[in-house]
């Protein structure tokens, strides 16, 4: 499984990528939407894990841009925001099951990735 | 009208909620970094138990990362505390420098989300305003948001303050060229009401591409003593 982690908290995605790699998951990371789109152009990913609030572009907008480049990629959202409205919008895009509130347990994140891998061509 | 209704109409409860949500978001991010960093330390120790050599320097760097993040969280919580204490007194003498710096810290992230950097450009000498601190913060927060929405190509809003014979000006620089009449019309009702409540006036400096909020002498102290500042 190859995943892309996108969050402007660089220390978070760097560490998360390393922990996933130790568990046999090939993980790349990006701290901006622009970097994420560059990576998606160059590599094929099974799952993208997106922060909901990324500078200059929302995670939801980034999802749409990524889907245009790689249709079929699966998505998980991570957020530090717990407002009901944010939840409704995020859950509508990714499904309630795949909208996770930080801090996220690594085991839960991996379980969600594995669940998504069993689905056909994303949500 | 009830006090709560008045606060609602002024947008003050929404302002309080918005700032609190932003702070909680920041803290969640810090907690997420700390959780993953400590998790990685555990991973490395577990691998060591299975025979992989432990890189002590690596562990030291991870511990340092946790220390740095707790320092960041401490700053966030200090700001939250200062903001929370802004409702302690109905009126007080406020150091404009402290007040603006706090508001810029609280709005840095939301501005960053829109690709804009906030920068304090404030004099060290005493510029004070006698006002309700919470309403003052509310007004300055609203003006920061207006300035961020209208930021120029540099994407940097600089906020300054100056004494003037008739009072104190707080200046928001770095806007794109704008029409004063359109800017005036775009002001929302809570911002207009806060301006009136604080007896302040918003001026539009087209040449400097700046918003200037003027607090009259009746509401301001022109120096000498340093105000006690917020909480």
**Structural domains of chain B in order of their starting residue, each with its CATH number:** 11-86 (1.20.5), 90-216 (3.30.565.10)
- Element (DSSP H or E) covering residue B72: helix B56-84
| Count of domains forming chain A | 1
What proportion of chain A, given as a percentage, has pLDDT over 70? 95
Q: What is the pLDDT of residues B29-46, one digit of tens each?
A: 999 999 999 999 999 999
Closest CA to B94 of B56, B136, B57: B136
- Any long-range contacts for A86-89 (C-beta under 8 Å, 24+ apart)? A86/A52, A89/A60
- Element (DSSP H or E) covering residue B4: helix B3-9
With CA atoms as reference, the chain B residue closest to A11 would be B33
Closest CA to B43 of A1, A6, A24: A24
Decide: helix, strand or coil at residue A19.
helix
A18 contacts chain B (CB < 8 A): yes
Could you tell me if B111 and B144 are in contact, meaning their C-beta atoms sit under 8 angstroms apart? yes
Axis-axis angle for helices A84-94, A59-69 (nearest 10): 10
Cβ count within 10 A of residue A85: 8
Taking 70 as the threshold, does the pLDDT of residue B185 lie above it?
yes
> Which pLDDT does position B190 carry in this prediction?
94
Nearest CB among A9, A56, A81 relative to B32 is that of A9
- Is residue A111, in this structure, part of any structural domain at all? yes
Taking 80 as the threshold, does the pLDDT of residue A121 lie above it?
no
Ranges of beta strands (E only) in chain B are: 92-95, 117-121, 128-131, 156-164, 167-173, 201-205, 210-216, 220-221
Alpha carbon of B154 to those of B173, B182, B207: distances in Å? 11, 22, 17
Q: Containing domain of residue A99, as a range?
A: 2-117
Taking 60 as the threshold, does the pLDDT of residue B219 lie above it?
yes
Confidence grade of residue B3 (pLDDT, cut at 50, 70, 90): confident
- Is residue A123, in this structure, part of any structural domain at all? no
Q: What is the pLDDT of residues B114-165, one digit of tens each?
A: 999 999 999 877 799 999 999 999 999 999 999 999 999 999 999 999 988 8
Q: Between residues 34 and 53 of chain A, which touch chain B (CB distance below 8 Å)?
A: 53
Alpha carbon of A35 to those of A8, A70, B58: distances in Å? 11, 15, 27
Residue A122, min C-alpha distance to chain B (Å)? 26
Give the pairing type, strands A2-6 and A47-51: parallel
Taking 60 as the threshold, does the pLDDT of residue B18 lie above it?
yes
A108 contacts chain B (CB < 8 A): no
What is this model's ipTM? 0.89
Chain A residue numbers with beta carbons less than 8 Å from the beta carbon of B34 are 103
Could you tell me if B142 and B188 are in contact, meaning their C-beta atoms sit under 8 angstroms apart? yes
CA–CA separation, B204 and B150 (whole Å): 13
Please report, for the domain that includes residue A8, its CATH number: 3.40.50.2300
> Which pLDDT does position B223 carry in this prediction?
47
Mean of pLDDT over chain A: 90
- Is residue A27, in this structure, part of any structural domain at all? yes
What proportion of chain B, given as a percentage, has pLDDT over 90? 81
Mean of pLDDT over chain B: 90
- Is residue A17, in this structure, part of any structural domain at all? yes
């Amino acid at each position: 499984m190859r995943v892309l982690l996108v969050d402007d908290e660089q220390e978070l995605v760097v560490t998360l990528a390393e922990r996933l790699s130790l568990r046999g998951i090939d993980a790349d990371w990006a701290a901006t939407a622009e970097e994420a789109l560059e990576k998606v152009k160059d590599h094929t990913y099974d799952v993208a894990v997106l922060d909901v609030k990324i500078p200059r572009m929302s995670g939801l907008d980034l999802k749409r841009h990524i889907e245009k480049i790689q249709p079929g990629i699966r998505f998980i959202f991570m957020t530090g925001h717990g407002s009901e409205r944010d939840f409704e919008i995020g859950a509508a895009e990714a499904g309630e099951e795949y909208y996770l509130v930080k801090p996220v347990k690594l085991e839960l994140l991996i379980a969600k990735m594995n669940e998504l891998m069993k689905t056909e061509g994303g949500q | 009208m009830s006090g709560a209704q008045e606060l609602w109409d002024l947008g003050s409860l929404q302002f309080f909620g918005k700032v609190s949500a932003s702070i909680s978001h920041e803290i969640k991010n810090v907690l997420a970094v700390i959780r993953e960093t400590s998790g990685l330390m555990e991973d490395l120790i577990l691998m060591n138990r299975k025979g992989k050599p432990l890189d002590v320097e690596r562990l030291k760097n991870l511990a340092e990362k946790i220390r740095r993040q707790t320092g960041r969280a401490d700053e966030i919580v200090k700001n939250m505390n200062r903001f929370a204490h802004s409702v302690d007194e109905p009126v007080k003498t406020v150091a404009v420098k402290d007040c603006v710096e706090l508001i810029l810290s609280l709005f840095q992230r939301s501005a960053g989300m829109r690709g804009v950097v906030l920068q304090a450009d404030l004099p060290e000498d005493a510029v004070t305003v006698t006002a309700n601190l919470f309403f003052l913060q509310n007004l300055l927060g609203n003006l920061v948001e207006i300035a961020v929405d209208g930021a120029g190509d540099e994407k940097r809003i600089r906020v300054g303050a100056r004494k003037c014979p008739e009072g104190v000006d707080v200046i928001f620089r770095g806007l794109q060229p704008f029409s004063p009449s359109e800017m005036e019309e775009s002001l929302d009702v809570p911002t207009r009401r806060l301006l009136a409540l604080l007896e302040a006036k918003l001026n539009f400096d087209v040449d400097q591409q700046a918003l200037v909020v003027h607090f009259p002498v009746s509401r301001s102290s022109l120096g000498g003593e340093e105000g006690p500042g917020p909480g």
